[in-house]
Structure 1
Amino acid sequence: MSEQYPHALHELSAPALIHAFRQGELSPVEVTQSVLGHIERWEHHLHALYLLRPELALEQARASEKRWKQGTPLGPLDGVPLTIKDNIATQGDPLPLGTAAVELTPMLADAPPAARIREAGGVMVAKTTMPDYGMLSSGLSSFHKLARNPWNLACTPGGSSSGAGAAAAAGYGPLHIGTDIGGSLRLPAGWCGIFTLKPSLGRIPIDPPYTGRAAGPMTRTVEDAAWFMQVLARPDPRDSMSLPEQDIAWREFDRGVDKLKGLRIGLLLEAGCGLAVEPEIRAAVEQAARLMERAGAVVLPMQPFMTQAMLDGMDHFWRMRSHVDMKALSPASKARVLPYIRQWADSAEGMSGEAVFKAASQFHATRVAAVTACNPFDYVISPTSPVPAFAAELASPTNDPLRPLEHIGFTVPFNMSEQPAASINCGYTRSGLPIGLQIAGRRFDDLGVLQVSRAFELIRDAQRPWPQPPSEALHHVD
């Protein structure tokens, strides 16, 4: 490794790579080769990837190398290795949605995030794994191999952006993209110790759009996420909920620690529903609050605004949605769906129209409650999850399909309120598992959330080294 780049190439940030390509100090080909080599050492432990095709990745890298030599790069991702979640369509590739029940039909077009990445010259190294239909916060899937957490292979990376969280923590290049409808970006980010931003609804166009659904960057640093947003936040008419084009200064994500001075920050330590916050997680979030106070923020306690009725209503509505989807499957196809998901969806069969309406009304109730509770504050901090990463083989922390969402009380309200919310590492359990801090802002203040996250990144307690692949001499879990 040269003196200019003492770290392994797969660990370099996207801005550092672009600078090196521009200066002719590195080639996209050698960087992609480094990422592929690192993946080879890790992947049989993690099962984070789908459609890993080294030759196709190297073909993209060679095309990028040629553009850089000619001085005609396509954009701020040209030559940067990255991954895309299974459920974000890429032209010519099947879209299994994490389940063995889906026919593997090649997609006719790139979904908006994939299109923006391709237009900007990103090197798509692979797609990343997810659970059946994205309806679990774990890496358990009837189609993909069981995804695992780099910090502890016995634990889940979370979900539904399972592979993306594991890939980012393991160092499969700097940039990864996932999706989130109730916490599917932030939960794996928190459990894998990485950074993510679930943006304001419509900030990153997605197809198909759905109430509360967002795509977002998953990275090791705030800087890489901000860099990625330059590309991902461009408009696309296919998303009927996409926001108007706006010139946001994403590169001004770093306002230093001074960003915190004078901010009114709400501290939410109880979700008001679901599982109780474990003491180690509460302590880590309280320590984060103290650090922000020392930096000049005014941190004030918040009362819980979610209720169990809100969480149960959203759960029951989603059960009915999945029940309807599965009724459209042939018996043979439905039998291939993960049993936990089948049992969860089938439990809605006897719901009346009135019950479905009442369940659906909890989405709006959640939105109103979240916005009202957050109004007095500039930002709100909380645990990302009440519990740390759980056993990889479990579908959820409770492992009970009739209590499946007890861990999303902190994350799901910000999907429904359309507010931006990030997760950033703020500590570790005694066993060494990462603990996520959620930072939520007002609707459309995506850049502000990045700036507050960057300020915390500068003042947080020392971070542990990123996990490395287990020795090949050791027995590994398949």
Structure 2
Amino acid sequence: MLSSLGFQEGKTPLNSRQSVSPISNAPDLCRMDVAALNAAFGSGALSPVEVVQAALARAEDVQQRFNAFTFIDHAGALAAARAAEARWRAGAALSAIDGVPTTLKDIVHVEGWTVRYGSRATDATPMLQDAPSVAGLRAAGAVFIGQTTTPEFGWKAVTDSPAFGITRNPWNPECTPGGSSGGAAVASATGAGVLHLGTDGGGSIRVPAAFTGTFGLKPTFGRVPADPPSAFGTVAHIGPMTRSPADARAMLSAMGGRSLRDWSQPWGAMPSPDPRPFDWKGRKVGLWMTPPTGTLSLAIKRVISDAVRQIEAAGATVEPIRLPGEGLHEMFHAHWMTGAASRLAQIPQEARRDLDPGFVEAAAEGNRFSLRGYIFAQQARARFGAAMDQLLADYDLLLSPATACLPFAAGREVPEGSGLSRWTEWAGFSYPINLSQQPACTLFCGLAEGLPVGLQIVGPRGADGFVLDAAEAATSLLGGP
């Protein structure tokens, strides 16, 4: 039986800012990574049932404090854990993630689960089949412990919704964890599961990873198949959110691959994401520090600059760059806001009274685009994408801040007093890479004002494994939260 936990907001006192990682107070079983769990399951020192029970208890606690889940599936998770336990005992584990506690965002379809997209206007009928990414995780033995929160239809880079309320940041519950995969990021940061499925249409994996001091990868477009197709089209990606690049790699290996249900996937196999030796020495790296709109926080600039100095000291040659192309903000809006308009058009008029007003405004902006303007934006995107491919032929990798600002007040779309009106104005380091479809990850690189700062690493299309190799090297160099 699915235990519905929606409509509760976190109950942590709002003055409880902390400067230590939220994972530090998690039970030992909730702090283990995939490699440690593999060793423990294989030796019989631990059972998937024990680990899943601990993850479920942690999820309940996290839900009460930060509102990261729409529901927690005790019965389904324990049944799957018992099956994984039997496989490990028989020496027949399905994969490296067999028996590992996993969460799924309230955007992707899961057989038998209700998927509401954070909205009261959607159908509460349980899904009839898994999305391809979910099917891949299930076939690998991942244990689904619950569903994580999203803003309505994943439309913005913070996480609050009419259906499930405000999700809060465990580093400081007065702040947002970012979005739209904010619930997944909170679950990851607090140890409520090991693997977390997120989606990223304009930064929705990388922004909350940055705001919560965790790791998130937006893979090359098409690396992870999608079905049903997103209203936001070919800027929408599916990817892993974890506490380390190694765990993200294990998850990506299960989620990725070809599916006949996703016509938009690139034809042919992509290179394997298996790990390879990586050294910063001799690498040519571009440093991107100017967002298309808005201003980079000085506090973030100082932390990123320190991280870059350490990467230079490790042997990399780092050169400042600007992204090619003009009008990236307007180009992204032509894709994103028309997607919002398309999604709104599917909702009956009588059901629209409960919608997030910001989503309705975004859809209205989308409706103001002409067909000619949309086609021009598509053509401009193609030119930008080709220029980005050339840039990443000239440089091994790009580095940048993950966001232009630190986490701000929960329940807001933009920082108070910033003069900004839309989330895209402070998330300008993320959405251009959705337009160009390159793989990009966010990892923790330090603290500013007691809050985490994320470093973004961008690589050539198809080079997801290389980006993960660089992320592991950067994490070893810079340290974790």
Contact 1:137–1:159 (8 Å) recurs in 2: yes
Distance in 1, Cα, partners of 2:98 & 2:366:
47
Give the aligned residue type for 1:79.
G
Contact preservation (8 Å) 1:370, 1:413: no
Equivalent in 299, 302, 306 of residue 318 of structure 2: 299
C-alpha distance in 2 between matches for 1:191 and 1:342 = 26
Find 2:125's aligned residue among 63, 81, 105: 105
What is aligned with 2:54? 34
Q: Does 1:416 align with 2:435?
A: yes
* 2:409 paired residue number: 391
8 Å CA contact retained: 1:49, 1:128: yes
Equivalent residue, structure 1, for 2:272: 248
Task: Name which of 110, 115, 120 aligns with 1:90.
Answer: 110
CA contact 1:344–1:402 (8 Å) conserved in 2: no
Normalised to the residue count of structure 2, the TM-score between the two structures is 0.89
Q: CA deviation at 1:261?
A: 0.9
What is the distance in 2 between the residues matched to 1:65 and 1:405? 45
AA at the equivalent of 1:325: R
SS in 2 for 1:443: coil
- TM alignment of 1:171-186, pairs within 5 A: 171-186=191-206
SS of residue in 1 equivalent to 2:160: coil
Count of aligned pairs = 451
Residue 124 of structure 1, CA deviation = 0.3
Contact residue 367 and residue 413 of structure 1 kept, 8 A: no
Paired letter, 1:126: G
Tell me the CA shift for residue 23 of structure 1: 1.1
Select the residue among 434, 439, 447 that pairs with 1:428: 447
- Comparing 407-416 and 236-245, the one that deviates more: 236-245
CA contact (8 A) 1:343 1:401 kept: no
Change (3 A) 1:242 1:76: farther
Mapping 1:144-155, distance limit 5 Å: 144-155=164-175
**2:344 matches 1:326:** yes
SS at match of 2:454: strand
Q: Cα distance, 1:234 vs. partner?
A: 2.7
On the 8 A contact 1:67/1:73 being kept in 2, the answer is yes
1:322-375 deviation per Cα after TM superposition (whole angstroms, max 9, x unaligned)? 224323422221111101111221234444333333344443343234334433
Quote the residue 2:295 is aligned against. 276
Counterpart pick for 2:328 among 264, 288, 310: 310
Partner residue, 2:385: 367
1:197 aligned to which of 213, 217, 220: 217
Whether 2:218 is the aligned partner of 1:218: answer no
Structure 1 residues 330 and 230: alpha-carbon distance in aligned structure 2, compared to 1, 3 A threshold: closer
Question: Is contact 1:268-1:304 (8 Å) kept?
Answer: yes
The question of 1:13 aligning with 2:33 is answered yes
Distance in 1 between the 2:475 and 2:132 partners? 30
1:335 aligns with 2:359: no
Aligned counterpart, 2:284: 264
Q: Do the aligned residues in 2 keep the contact of 1:139 with 1:160 (CA within 8 Å)?
A: yes
SS in 2 for 1:285: helix
Identity value in percent: 34
C-alpha spacing 1:203/1:249, structure 2 compared with 1 (3 Å): closer
Aligned equivalent of 1:467: none
Moved more, 394-403 or 97-106: 394-403
1:356 aligns to what SS in structure 2? helix
Match of 1:378 among 396, 411, 417: 396
Structure 1 stretches lacking a partner, 5+ long:
1-5, 465-478
Distance in 1 (CA, whole Å) between partners of 2:273 and 2:405 is: 35
Distance, in Å, in 2 between the alignment partners of 1:8 and 1:295 is 33
Q: Whole-Å Cα distance in 2 between the matches of residues 393 and 158 of structure 1?
A: 10
| Cα shift at 1:96 | 0.9
How far apart, CA to CA, are the structure 2 residues paired with 1:166 and 1:408?
Answer: 19
More off after superposition, 261-270 vs 316-325: 316-325
Q: Are 2:137 and 1:114 equivalent residues in the alignment?
A: no
Contact 1:261 1:296 in 2 (8 A): yes
| Alignment correspondent of 1:472 | none
SS in structure 2 at match of 1:89: coil
Between stretches 103-112 and 316-325, larger displacement belongs to 316-325
Q: SS of 1:211's equivalent?
A: helix
**CA-CA distance at 1:202 after TM superposition:** 1.1
| SS class of match (2:429) | coil
Query: Mean Cα displacement is larger for which, 390-399 or 62-71?
Result: 390-399
Change in CA separation of 1:400 and 1:19 when aligned onto 2, cut-off 3 Å: same
Aligned with residue 43 of structure 1, among 55, 58, 63: 63
Instruction: Please say if residues 314 and 360 of structure 1, whose CA atoms lie closer than 8 Å, have aligned partners that are also in contact.
Output: no
Q: Structure 2 CA distance, aligned partners of 1:401 and 1:133?
A: 22
| Offset from partner CA, 1:201-244 (integer Å, 9 cap, x none) | 11111213431221111111111111212211232221123343
Distance of 2:387 and 2:269 partners within structure 1: 28
| 2:371 corresponds to | 353
1-structure distance, mates of 2:136, 2:150: 22
Query: Which of 119, 134, 137 in structure 1 is aligned with 2:157?
Result: 137
**1:122 Cα deviation (Å)?**
0.8
Counterpart amino acid of residue 191 in structure 2: G
Give the letter aligned to residue 407 of structure 1: W
Instruction: Label 1:231 to 1:400 Cα distance change in 2 as closer, same or farther (>3 A).
Output: farther
RMSD, matched Cα = 2.0
Structure 1 residues 406 and 369: CA distance shift in structure 2, 3 A: farther
Q: Following TM superposition, by how much is the alpha carbon of 1:416 offset from its aligned partner in structure 2, in angstroms?
A: 1.9
Structure 2 SS opposite 1:121: coil
Q: CA deviation at 1:28?
A: 0.6
Q: d(CA) in 2 for partners of 1:376 and 1:131?
A: 38
Decide whether the 8 Å contact of 2:48 with 2:99 is kept in 1.
yes
Query: Is the Cα–Cα contact under 8 Å of residues 77 and 145 in structure 2 kept in the other structure?
Result: yes
Give SS of 1:125's match: strand
Structure 2 unmatched runs, 5+: 1-25
Q: How many Å apart are 1:396 and its aligned residue?
A: 3.5
Gap change, CA 1:229 and 1:173, over 3 Å in 2: same
More moved, 206-215 vs 161-170: 206-215
Measured at CA, do residues 247 and 385 of structure 1 come closer, stay the same or move farther in structure 2, by a change above 3 Å? Answer: closer
Matched AA of 1:103: D
1:279 maps to amino acid: L
